[in-house]
Structure 1
Amino acid sequence: MASDPRIPVVLCWHMHQPDYRDLNTGEFLFPWVYLHTIKDYSDMAAHIEAHPNARTVVNFAPILLEQIETYLVQIERWRHGAGQIGDPLLAALVAETLPETGTPAFQELMEKCLRANPDRIISRFPAYQRLSELAEFYRQKPEMQRYVSPMFLTDLLVWYHLGWMGETIRHENHCVRSLQEKGYGFSMDDRHALLNVIFEILAGIGPRYRHLAQKGQVELSVSPYTHSMLPLLIDLASARESMPDISLPESVRYPGGELRVGWQLQQARIVFQRFFGIEPTGCWASEGGLSQETLGFLDQHGFRWTASGDSVIHNSINRAKELDLSVPDADIHRPYNFGDSPITVFFRDDGLSDLIGFTYASWHASDAVGDLVHHMENIAAHGKPGSKPVISIILDGENAWEYFPENGFHFLDELYAVLEDHPGLRLTTFRQLIDEPVCPTLSLPHLVAGSWIYGTFSTWIGDPDKNRAWDLLCEAKFHYDRAMDNGSLTAEQKETARRQLAICEGSDWFWWFGDYNPAQIVSDFEHLYRRHLVNLYDVIGYSAPASVFHQLSQGGGEPTHGGAMRPGHDQDAQG
């Protein structure tokens, strides 16, 4: 409230995953949606539920919400004998037969069950660690695999899912606790019981966050439908606003990009409303990627606020000063308007946000929270007279916790406990700050296009591999446009094509291309991106060009936290 003397603090947790489904087959090629649901999306809701005076913003990418729905439908159909579970890993958990030992399929499933943090997940559980050690032995001596008991793979599947389980679920769910205590020799009944737990968690995500929103504890916001990078869809050359010398793709523009941006935002609102039953006020444009033109589209689609990284406001102020315009001093703790856009733009305190993402995982929880709150108190104490700072911490809501003990349970519990009753700091939401402003909104003539990562788009464009991926997408869009206009497609085919194209427009594919990323993850994502392009060509009835079948990127780097997160300022990679 405006009369509250405390300094407002907004915690904004962003949840997103790209589309891992092959729309031609209905198969999930990677399990990260349901694994992050049982580990992170459930835990994040539970922490807020446990602290009724806490307030926060939770942002969801619509394509993530749709995939959660798909899992629920597939599991329910499987239960009634009317279909298969489309995720091979989840299906294996309850499969009557598993791959025979010593076969390539056995080796592949074994490796999948070890894709977990070795320090925070695998080694935490002695039974899981023993299975991991056996797996390493079998890797070194594959000829010994023929003597392995089938129980090895069964137990490994169960422990993989137990390891990925959210900490609040682990504390409260009787089935999970009993399976952990049992430790080995899991029966089919055990495996079915674990699947039921997974189903219940997936089914609870929508209702739990809806309830938190109804109570006023959470403001729910949304990203573009498939988490696409809107400024680049509008104009690839917008990357030059913050990096004038950046190398761009051969394609001059993404064909019809402005229409696609409109579709992405319209579809985002449709999915969001269907899932949560409310209309979003704010849009976290993918990766805080903004441009002046993007603000116009957000306004047209009814959004009142958005946000980005603090390098964007610094770039925008510096550009105005270069034009000898009278502008305010840089202040990342204030809301802004740009040009004639009415959208209120908030800016992430990159320093504080990155402390959570990259530093505090190795600290004791109380020390970490004490340090973070001390920084906030200093910001509050040094605010300008007559104006309250707005402290915005915006962070990936899923990947950071893998590196904390017990999925960040103690850190998050302590953070909410301290902030919900702090005498000088007040947890709030962006919508509340718009409805009840606590400080004047500053104005600048133009927002310099960029994202929260370094204030540029270098994570998605400029690298040769990324540029080649854009050229492939632009070429596919050219053929898509021709097919949509020539009358050869039915209405159903057109709708399928629109959604398949939207998946190809997602920002995540471009994020991972480049030599500085890990080879295994680059391989996963570039293969999936090319498959999505092939599926697009299939649905529009045009033969995919040979270039789509050539490997795009190899990777080979070792970025912090595997590259799933990046700091806002200090570059640990080229890109």
Structure 2
Amino acid sequence: MPAEPALNVVLCWHMHQPDYRDPHTGSPLQPWTYLRALKDYTDMAAHLEMVDNACAVVNFTPILLEQLGCYSRQINGYLQHNSALQDPLLAQLLAAQPGASPTAAENILRKCLSGRHLNFSRRHETYHMLLEFAEALRQRNDLLASASEGFFADLLVWFHLSWLGETVHRNDPRVQQLIDKARDYTLDDRRALLEIIGEQIDAVVPRYRALQDESRVELALSPYAHPLAPLLLDFNSAREANPEVALPPCSHYPGGETQLQWQIDKGLDIFEHHFGRRPSGCWPAGGALSNAVLQQLADSGFKWTASGTDVLLNSLNPSAREHPDANVLHQGYLAGEPPICCFFRDDRLSNLIAFTYATWHADDAVANLIQQLEGIHRNCDDKKNAVVAIIMDGDNAWEHYPNNGFYFLQALYRRIANHPKFELTTFSKCLQADRQSLPALVAGSWACGNLSSWIGSPDKNRAWEMLVSAKHQFDLVMQQNFLPPSQRHEATRLMAICEGSDWFWWPGNGNSPQAVQNFDNLYRIHLTALYQCLEIPPPKYLAHSYTHPPSSTDTWPDDVMKKNT
């Protein structure tokens, strides 16, 4: 009897950070881009390098790639030419007297406490004690004067050590030397740490490009600044899955199709510059799709895209929706004209990795996942064409795992890659299979199958209203054609930044008030810079917050609430 075909399994990791740069100075206003690069983008490359037969799809946003390049240039500029470090936290790490002013001290405490990793601090008593003292200082500002420069230097070193990937800790003896020293770090020690940081950031793109060239990874992209594509094209698309959702008072986003095409084309150019070729696939922001988005992606040359299970269920006929089985859920579908292949995230398995397995022993967690994949293999009649798509952020989950998920990810790749019933593969390798057609797609995203994570609440709709107003002014200035070419180009880029989905995600959704305020501020900074670039006085309302503290009834499903940066 011939052997059964193996079940195709695709692991897809999405790498994204919004534009944290001050549009006037280029200085990062938040450190998360370089911190995620150190901890997660390095480790995720290392796991693919270390495990034979491992492969995955890795999706990069072009705005993230741009910011990584900025960090490489500023760190190398400091190390080679003693140029100023633009990132405030890195500048304090290399300051002769860290935390010398109350403002600098407060910034160090705020950043180091907001980004601490409890799993790492539990492994290192010195770091744990530093964090406890830092927390006490935050509670009692009158104690700030009692904190020495040595305390701030030690806190900054340990904070950055905690953000180095587990594979960096294991492979770079300089890291262990810094850990062994434990305290009283000198400026030379801190410079050595910055050299490690710079090396890791410099290596991110070359490592993934090498993995791509070795066919160990398929690289994909999202449009340039991570826009929520269906809403750029049509606000009413939000009502396809949620007919009761409130829409902004403006009827539509002007010129959305042109803007989305610019975001796609710009993203493709940046991707090709970094990775030497154009991608076949696109994970859209939020996995958000509509029929119009599908057509624009297909017209732009993409062969595949992806979304969440609920989008598929909403799009199927009633009988298939009410009684879904493995043959329906674990399948790629041809949709749109020209057709593009749509894969759909197994939300249950993806969310187990994202939110549940972190508290399990790694072997038990992977064994449980393997057991569930074996069940899908048994229940699929058309095993040859079946695809299980596990899609999630490639960074946010791992700090909740011991050792940044090292043991879990190693076991995950090994067990799936070596399992006789599974084929660990990529989406592009699944394109040649026989595919059913999906006549129409109900617009939605991975988040509950609808678009309500980005539109519908008063604060989200206000954010859209401000964007529409800015776009009207942008269009008028572009039509008048009085700006010099370089300024037109910068205004176009700033317009795209303001279209990023993050500005609409963060208000509400059960997010922390501090995170909401940070993104409120950053969005208004970008909008203000756009108006200034257009040589139009910014509206007075941009000087004031537009978000409100979440109410007690502002609750969302756990898998939506737990998104990080």
TM-score, L = length of structure 2 = 0.95
Match runs of 1:462-501 below 5 Å: 462-501=456-495
Deviations 1:95-141 (A, max 9, x none): 2233326x233122222122224522333321111111112332344
* Equivalent position of 2:367 in the other structure: 370
Q: What do residues 410-448 of structure 1 show as CA deviations (whole Å, max 9, x unaligned)?
A: 1001101111111111100001111x42xx211121111
* Alignment counterpart, residue 505 of structure 1, candidates 499, 502, 509: 499
Change (3 A) 1:558 1:359: farther
- Cα RMSD after superposing both structures: 2.3
Shift of 1:75: 1.6
Shift of 1:329: 9.8
* Contact 1:518–1:559 (Cα < 8 Å) also in 2: no
Q: 1:248/1:165 Cα in 2 relative to 1: closer, same or farther (>3 Å)? A: same
Following the alignment from structure 2 to structure 1, what is the Cα–Cα distance between the partners of residues 482 and 427? 46
1:163-174 pair list within 5 angstroms = 163-174=162-173
Which residue matches 2:527?
533
The 1:488–1:97 alpha-carbon spacing in structure 2 relative to 1, beyond 3 Å, is: farther
**Contact 1:380–1:388 at 8 Å: present in 2 too?**
no
What is the alpha-carbon distance in structure 2 between the residues aligned to residue 124 and residue 510 of structure 1? 37
Q: Structure 1 residue 198 and structure 2 residue 190: aligned?
A: no
The reply to whether residue 225 of structure 1 matches residue 217 of structure 2 is no
Aligned residues of 2:327 and 2:381 also touching (Cα < 8 A)? no
- 1:423 matches 2:420: yes
Identity %: 44
Task: Please name the residue that 2:342 is paired with.
Answer: 345
- TM-fit CA distance, 1:264: 0.5
- 2:430 corresponds to which residue? 433
The aligned amino acid for 2:19 is D
CA deviation vs aligned residue, 1:166-198 (integer Å, no higher than 9, x gap): 000011111111101111000111100110101
User: Matched residue of 2:219: which SS?
Assistant: strand
Residues 306, 345 of structure 1: 8 Å contact kept: yes
1:512 Cα deviation from its structure 2 partner: 0.3
CA separation in 2, counterparts of 1:279 and 1:169? 30
Query: By how many angstroms is 1:385 displaced?
Result: 5.0
Show CA shifts across 1:181-238 (max 9, x none): 1110001111001101011001101110011111111000000100111111011111
- How many residues of Structure 1 are paired with residues of Structure 2 in the alignment? 559
Any idea what the Cα deviations from partners look like across 1:265-320, whole Å, max 9, x if unmatched? Answer: 00110000001111100000111110000011101111000000010010001479
- Match in the other structure for 1:148: 147
User: What stretches of structure 1 of length at least 5 have no aligned partner?
Assistant: none
Q: Deviations over 1:35-77 (max 9, x none)?
A: 0000000000000000121111000000000000011111222
Shift of 1:520: 0.8
Contact 1:317 1:330 survives alignment (8 Å): no
1-structure distance, mates of 2:195, 2:325: 56
How far is the alpha carbon of 1:23 from its aligned partner?
1.9
Give the whole-Å Cα distance in 1 for the aligned partners of 2:153 and 2:394: 31
Assess if the C-alpha contact under 8 Å between 1:310 and 1:348 holds in 2: yes
1:68 corresponds to which residue?
A: 68
Tell me, yes or no, if structure 1 residue 92 matches structure 2 residue 86. Answer: no
Distance in 1 between the 2:458 and 2:552 partners? 19
The one-letter amino acid of 2:154's match is D
Structure 2 counterpart of 1:331: 328
AA partner of residue 536 (structure 1): L
Seen in structure 2, the aligned counterparts of structure 1 residues 557 and 132 have a Cα distance that, compared at 3 Å, is farther
User: What does residue range 53-132 of structure 1 map to in structure 2 within 5 Å?
Assistant: 53-81=53-81, 83-100=83-100, 103-132=102-131
Segment of structure 1 superposing worse, 77-86 or 386-395: 77-86
Matched, 1:251 2:245: no
**1:387–1:31 Cα change, 3 Å:** same
Residue identity in the other structure for 1:175: R
- SS in structure 2 at match of 1:69: helix
Check the 8 A contact 1:517/1:555 in 2, yes or no.
no
**2: distance between equivalents of 1:39 and 1:329?**
35
Contact 2:79 2:195 in 1 (8 A): no
Q: Which residue of 2 aligns with 1:520?
A: 514
In structure 2, the residue matched to 1:360 is 357
Q: What's the secondary structure of 1:113's corresponding residue?
A: helix
Q: In the alignment, is residue 235 of structure 1 matched against residue 229 of structure 2?
A: no
- Gaps (5+ residues) in structure 2? none
For the 8 Å contact 2:227–2:499, the answer to whether it is kept is yes
